Structure 1
């Protein structure tokens, strides 16, 4: 790698990220059933019908995993907590779940690692789904109760907290496109989920402020949208895709308003009096997190609203089939600061790629990942040089893990995991980062 810690501001934080269901092992510690257990049990939804019952057994192996975080020199560990572990039925506290996150937090602090929590990374308790899940307005209150129970226990030791990871995935990918749990394709369910996920964000922020907590943020995922050709129709559809994917959630949190071009489609399906919630949704946060991986080329498909389709692009792609487009990260950092957040600190909360990592002679070489991270760090430095208040960069992910609908097929980790033996083996990218973070 060409970038070293000395190339960045002295207060710039480097981190690595994971999520609970993807690594912990939800068959341990009294965790409840989640929508992903149900989704994976339905034929055709998940590669090999795999689930997170064991995952990579972080539940028992977290000391070893946190040793890897510390040994590489990362400042921050962005982890998520599981609603279904803390409250197996979505409402009743499981003491074993609170105890686990208590131990995990102390283990981070003992190693000099800043705990950066996310309250929800998609592991909705199945009993909450039975009551409508994100379609039900009451979920905001249930989520607030979960926030109170968990952060009442560990909130005093958190460096930062964000309520919900990637609301687009929670709402649109899961309720409109059907690719993630609960696997719906329903515009009315989507409109409600798009709003209720932000209402839950607002209630969680309110609860944590009440606990005296600060350094609270919001984390969004972004895909740069370019027109697939030079036509006016493609330009219009790319702008609509951008509004749905990137601007809806930023607009709700930082402007208290949704994009009009999206309301043209979702408006008739929105919950009653949704406008009354915007003050709660847009209450101040302390930072904004950006998860970025790729861009999409967008054109019209001739179908009902939104009538967009993805067109395969010409750029090199990751194993997920995602184009490698570092310029998109720079575009989002500058645009977010310019149009939404101003001087508010920004953090790249996820960035990384899947590559075909195999063990050869006891080692795992992953030059694609090193090149990817270098290219995106180039754009991070450019944005900082131009005055963007960017304060951190976190890599997805620490470990190879359960990659949702892809099962255990895709490897995003800096550390290779043998999914049979669960042996951890740091890849070349991990060693390269460790060297550069010391300099």
Structure 2
């Protein structure tokens, strides 16, 4: 049997996010986030399916960390809840911050490296009431919150991620309306994207000012969810252009300012005539912003689940010929998260997950190589990769062979990219345990660990036991 080896010191871990697992939404001074509000709006995708309890991680954290230790995780990627640390986006709340002090200490005491994300979509509702990420002031409030966290934990945490998937925050939140705060305001998504990047840049600048450099063992990065955009019909000019637009609004709107210090030229032409607050989005980009945004990073987090194969509208197809994950399950109409002309995602014939996402590990390799070749990306961590499956407990076990197969395929694809010179330093499964999922509530499961939401019993799935052995051996057999 052929064996593929990972580099010495390769970081194996699993990921989760505060809103999805913590519960305790009213405990210790926490105030509402935009997700607490969004899930109660009639017509929202998750109306009535709240995360008030979630996985009770806020109360069960020591036991959960002990389970991570038993499974051999070397690192845990978690997020901090802004409304818990700085309620309403205001002053520091010591009681809320203390939870993350205890979590950090618990991880370190068990030999697990904390890998925190400062923002995983749970904006304080009070800041949204003042405009949210379309308000430039939110970037400065993010800096205040982030530096308060760094003040408290910077002596024990070495690696910091500013934002998780700002595409979802900006375009799903402010253009498409499918995620909190549920606004459908066209080019507002680009304005929100800029202010998210500004908040990122402000923290990086302050972090560097405090001596946060890799040669001192302190690193900072950002996590994106870039896609591979292939036209459904390469001979159809409209589909080729749809793929270009998707790449611009999904990938290059973040990658170009971060690594090239500018926004793509075609982003400007694609939004020509679109206004937010009676102004083009370019008016929200002030002198000095791009210099902050493009400050060099120590690592890039990459989340990957699938590529995208768009077809331009109009497209003559029956609904069953389109990928179901693109059809929002809601009584409230949705707009495309891409400003301007819409697009659809026809089936290509590839196998799909239970969530109806197409499985394309080759696209993962292509994406990682592109980040190296086009953007000269810094070292990469795969901060999310995994699969939703309809898992059930049978005789005390969960036989989730599809999850193991998916992860294995993508690890091979990642190794293919590493063979082509991509510097990948670690891999985090999404997710550590089943939890509240942003578009499907608790009905769909991504976890290595099964959670019975009625009893809160945790059951490691077969994939968790397999992943534990893989991480310990640091090598992957070739079937």
TM-score tier (shorter): over 0.9
Name the CA distance, whole Å, in 1 between partners of 2:2 and 2:8: 14
Task: Give me the CA root mean square deviation.
Answer: 1.7
Q: Summarize deviations over 1:272-322 as a string: whole Å, max 9, x none.
A: 251521001111110111100011220111598243222233211112211
**Stretch deviating more after TM superposition (194-203 or 183-192):** 183-192
Paired position in structure 1 for 2:317 = none
Which residue of 2 is the match for residue 228 of structure 1? Answer: 232
**Cα distance 1:54–1:264, how it changes in 2: closer, same or farther (>3 A)?**
same
CA contact (8 A) 2:271 2:340 kept: no
- Aligned equivalent of 1:259: 264
For 1:275-286, what aligned pairs fall within 5 Å after superposition?
Answer: 276=287, 277-286=289-298
Structure 1 stretch displaced more, 264-273 or 158-167: 264-273
How far apart are the structure 2 equivalents of 1:430 and 1:322? 22
Which aligned pairs between 1:92-103 and structure 2 lie closer than 5 A?
92-103=91-102
Deviation at 1:347, TM superposition (A): 1.0
Distance between the aligned counterparts of 1:212 and 1:58, measured in 2? 33
Instruction: Give the Cα–Cα distance (whole angstroms) in 1 for the partners of residues 344 and 211 of structure 2.
Output: 45
User: Does residue 386 of the first structure (1) align with residue 386 of the second (2)?
Assistant: no
In structure 1, how many angstroms separate the alpha carbons of the residues matched to 2:358 and 2:65? 31
1:239 aligns with 2:244: yes
Q: 2:285 aligns with which of 258, 274, 278?
A: 274
- Residue among 457, 460, 468 paired with 1:434: 468
Matched position secondary structure for 1:391: strand
1:358 deviates by 0.3
* Whole-Å separation in 2 of the counterparts to 1:368 and 1:273: 45
Asked if the contact 1:31–1:84 (Cα under 8 Å) also holds between the matched residues in 2, the reply is yes
Give the Cα separation in 1 of the matches to 2:434 and 2:284.
Answer: 43
Contact kept, 8 Å, 2:41 with 2:47, in 1: the verdict is: no
Contact 1:45/1:405 (CA < 8 Å) preserved in 2?
A: no
CA distance in 2, matches of 1:119, 1:239: 31
* Displacement of 1:271: 4.9
Secondary structure of the corresponding residue to residue 402 of structure 1: coil
Q: What's the secondary structure of 2:118's corresponding residue?
A: strand
**Aligned ranges for residues 112-191 of structure 1 at < 5 Å?**
112-191=111-190
The structure with more helix, counted as a fraction of residues:
1
**Among 384, 403, 406, which residue is 2:437 paired with?**
403
Runs of 4+ residues deviating >4 angstroms: none
- Report what 1:412 is aligned to: 446
Instruction: Give the secondary structure class of the aligned counterpart of 2:180.
Output: coil
SS of equivalent residue, structure 1 residue 349: strand
Q: Which residue matches 1:338?
A: 373
TM-score (norm 2): 0.88
Alpha-carbon distance in structure 1 between the residues aligned to 2:162 and 2:2: 31
Equivalent residue number for residue 75 of structure 1: 74
Check conservation: 1:191, 1:266, Cα contact below 8 A.
Answer: no
SS of equivalent to 1:406:
coil
Aligned counterpart for 1:326 among listed residues 358, 361, 381? 361
The CA distance in 1 between the partners of 2:107 and 2:181, in whole Å, is: 33
Aligned length: 436
What is the rounded CA distance, in whole Å, between the counterparts of 1:273 and 1:98 in structure 2? Answer: 32
Write the deviation string for residues 120-144 of structure 1: whole angstroms up to 9, x where unpaired. 0011101000000001011111000
1:385-423 superposed Cα distances (whole Å, 9 cap, x missing partner):
121111111110001000023111110000000011111
Unaligned runs of 5+ in 2: 213-217, 275-279, 315-335, 474-479
Normalised by the size of structure 1, how large is the TM-score?
0.96
Is the CA contact 1:147–1:208 (under 8 Å) kept in the aligned structure 2? no
For 1:300, which of 299, 303, 312 is the aligned residue? Answer: 312
